[in-house]
Structure 1
Amino acid sequence: MRVIVSGGGTGGHIYPAIALINQLKERNLLDDVLYVGTKSGLESRIVKDLNIPFTTVEIQGFKRKLSLDNIKTVNLFFSSISKSKKIIKEFKPDIVIGTGGYVSSAVVYAAHKMKVPTIIHEQNSIAGVTNKFLGHFVDKIAISFAEVATEFPEKSKLILTGNPRAQEVIKIKPNERLSEFNLVPHKPTVLIFGGSRGARPLNSAVVDSISSFNEANYQVLFVTGKIHYDNVIKQISAKKNPNVSVVPYVDEMPEILPDVSLIVGRSGATSIAEITALGIPAIFIPSPYVTHDHQTKNAEILEKVGAASVIKESDLTKESLLESINNIMGNAEVYKNMEEESKELGIPNAADLLIDEMLKLVK
């Protein structure tokens, strides 16, 4: 297959696209691929670093308030459709896949107008504006949460595939990478991670809890985020705890997940796909600053079935954090139930399910 993939702006749109490309390569189904993004987007760095063929169109999102910039946005949208048509005409894809972000709106819409088969992939439990728009035009709408189906009127197009990122993680086997962080391999481990930039409220609660981890029956890998690391180290310098390893960031984070017993952190779509693929219990502190508060909805879906606990950021304290962690790590029955429910939600063959739908459209 010759495939154009487009998605950008956040890792949540980019990493599922990369996972799909990797699985197509592994199955020897990819004759050629082209990733279409923007020059300024995160995808321009991530995709290029992976040596995936990459090109760009210029586009931007609408401002929520009335603004002259929105006139520019409309003009850019139409010009980016024209540029996308040229890219499609030159590359001659068998299918075009959009994984979200403003850039995919122009590319996928252009493919539709040129009668090239199209699929969009929605990672979250609340649909993004771009995918809602594209849902009217594409051939198939792949979703990761069954709950988001209510936001698309085009029911016949919907397919529950899960997030391709899950299939990448499920291939990783337990290893002894925890020793790299001065932790004991095979000992129950709690990973606390507030995202690539860290989360100040979560970091504060963990700093206050450091001494309380001394007598725990588990060890803690505390990932602060690079911009917060120096400040955290200063705060805990007098609270040394051999049971806790504090690091600014973990490269290739998925590599350590099979050795993690419990995850404490945000509830982005990619994280949830990875966690449920492996069946890891979680404590979510959803970011209240994301569009449509979709992280809260994501987390609540797992909480409802007993796969995760949720603490609102406004309710996060040393006490609430420790109570939640100890309730799970100190109770084998609770832990086992959460593990089972998490696995039940996981879709470990998500990339293959999406590829199956692609193959149906290109036949």
Structure 2
Amino acid sequence: MRVVLTGGGTGGHIYPALAIAEQLKADKPETEFLYIGGKRGLENSIVPAAGLPFETLDITGFRRSLSADNVKTVLRFMRGVQISSQLLEKFKPDVVVGTGGYVCGPVVYAAHKLRIPTLIHEQNAIPGLTNRFLSRYVNTVAVSFDGTQGQFPKARRVMYSGNPRATTVHRADREEGFGLLGLPSGTPIALVVGGSIGAKAINEAMLQIVPEIAGMPETHFVYVTGKRYYEEAKRSLDEAPWTPPANLHVLPYVERMPEVLAASTLVVSRAGASFLAEVTSLGIPSVLIPSPNVTNNHQEVNARALEDEGAAIVITERELSGGRLFAAVEAIVRDDYLRTRMSERSASLGKPDSARILAAELGKLAVRAKAIRRGAL
């Protein structure tokens, strides 16, 4: 099978696409891939590092207010469809998969015009503008959150698949996670992370509770500042009037997050959909602090979906303080019943077979398209 993947801008769009590729490759090692991304997104470093052939388009998104830039966006879209058509005709894929971000628009639309089977995957509880636009043209829309199928009323087929990143993380080796952190197997770990760049509000609250952490010596706090905020956080700790406790581990970034997640007892994080899929695939309780700086406030909607099921405690950024954060963490760590219950509810929301479900759907689309071309259907 020959597969084109497209998705970009953030890791939340890129890693699900790579998880699908990983599953397809495991099922059929002869599968060939082409990844089409944007010129400005994180995919420019992540995808080549994953070893996939990579092409780019110059594409931007629409501004939500009247702007002359939207005229340029339309022209870039039209040019993107033209270039995508050329790439698709040359590669001759059996199926095209879009996982979100502006670059999906021209690629998936071009595939539709060329009558190539298409599937888009929506990670969030509130769909993005690009996927809403594409939903009327594709063969299948796959959603991460059960109950959100109705968000695509014009789609031909909508299926609940979960997020394929869950499959990748579910396979992670827990013992390797302890080894990477230099901690004994079974050590209780509270992982605090704001994404690869970091989250200023989470960092500020975390620095406020460092003195309290010393009172929980049995739990090790792995505090991932994000690369942008690492030096600032280290400086704040160095200049503090107290010595940072031995159970605090400060890191700028975690290269092998699946293994570290697998070793974690509790996670404090933003509420990006792909990360929540990873957390629930492992059944980890969480304290979620949704980013307010996202379209349609979709991170809070994502987080509330877990909170409503008893899998997470949600603290909005406007409510966040060191005291509020520590109270939530302490409640989960010290209450075995609550932690176990939250873990069970988290696991009940997980979809560790997501990548397999999507790979099976893609296989069906490809087989059906080949049958149609042969005149068998």
TM-score (norm 1): 0.97
Q: Deviations over 1:205-260 (max 9, x none)?
A: 11111111112141211111122122222222333201111111111111211110
Name the CA distance, whole Å, in 2 between partners of 1:244 and 1:183: 12
Query: Is the 8 Å Cα contact of residues 144 and 162 (structure 1) preserved in structure 2?
Result: yes
Name the CA distance, whole Å, in 2 between partners of 1:162 and 1:176: 26
Q: How far does residue 180 in structure 1 lie from its aligned partner after superposition?
A: 4.5
Letter in 1 for 2:144: S
Q: 1:156 to 1:83 in 2, by over 3 A?
A: closer
Letter in 2 for 1:207: L
Letter in 1 for 2:172: I
Q: Deviations over 1:60-107 (max 9, x none)?
A: 111222222211111111111111111111111111111111111111
Moved over 6 A (4+): none
What SS does the corresponding residue of 1:119 show, helix, strand or coil? strand
Q: How far does residue 182 in structure 1 lie from its aligned partner after superposition?
A: 4.9
Q: Deviations over 1:269-289 (max 9, x none)?
A: 111010000000000000000
Q: 1:341 to 1:119 in 2, by over 3 A?
A: same
Provide structure 2 residue ranges, at least 5 long, that are not aligned to the other structure. Answer: 368-377
Q: Deviations over 1:304-338 (max 9, x none)?
A: 00000000111111211111011111111101110
Is 2:237 the counterpart of 1:233?
no
Q: 1:240 to 1:57 in 2, by over 3 A?
A: closer
Query: Is the 8 Å Cα contact of residues 7 and 104 (structure 2) preserved in structure 1?
Result: yes
Aligned to 1:245: 249
Aligned to 2:338: 334
Is 2:225 the counterpart of 1:224?
yes
Aligned to 2:84: 84
Aligned to 1:72: 72
Name the CA distance, whole Å, in 1 between partners of 2:259 and 2:116: 37
Letter in 1 for 2:298: H
Letter in 1 for 2:352: P
Query: Is the 8 Å Cα contact of residues 139 and 156 (structure 2) preserved in structure 1?
Result: no
Q: How many residues in Structure 1 have an aligned counterpart in Structure 2?
A: 363
**Map 1:119-134 → 2, pairs under 5 A:** 119-134=119-134
The CA RMSD measured in Å over matched residues stands at 1.4
TM-score (norm 2): 0.93
**Map 1:135-284 → 2, pairs under 5 A:** 135-154=135-154, 156-216=156-216, 217-237=218-238, 238-284=242-288
Query: Is the 8 Å Cα contact of residues 226 and 252 (structure 2) preserved in structure 1?
Result: yes
Aligned to 2:307: 303
Name the CA distance, whole Å, in 2 between partners of 1:284 and 1:107: 34
Q: Deviations over 1:110-164 (max 9, x none)?
A: 1111111110000110100000000000000011012322211036511111111
Name the CA distance, whole Å, in 2 between partners of 1:319 and 1:273: 28
Q: How far does residue 176 in structure 1 lie from its aligned partner after superposition?
A: 4.7
Q: 1:174 to 1:245 in 2, by over 3 A?
A: same
Provide structure 1 residue ranges, at least 5 long, that are not aligned to the other structure. Answer: none
Letter in 2 for 1:332: D
Query: Is the 8 Å Cα contact of residues 143 and 149 (structure 1) preserved in structure 2?
Result: yes
Q: How far does residue 179 in structure 1 lie from its aligned partner after superposition?
A: 5.0
Q: 1:30 to 1:353 in 2, by over 3 A?
A: farther
Letter in 2 for 1:318: G
Name the CA distance, whole Å, in 2 between partners of 1:354 and 1:74: 31
Aligned to 1:35: 35
**What's the % identity of the aligned pairs?**
43
Is 2:375 the counterpart of 1:350?
no
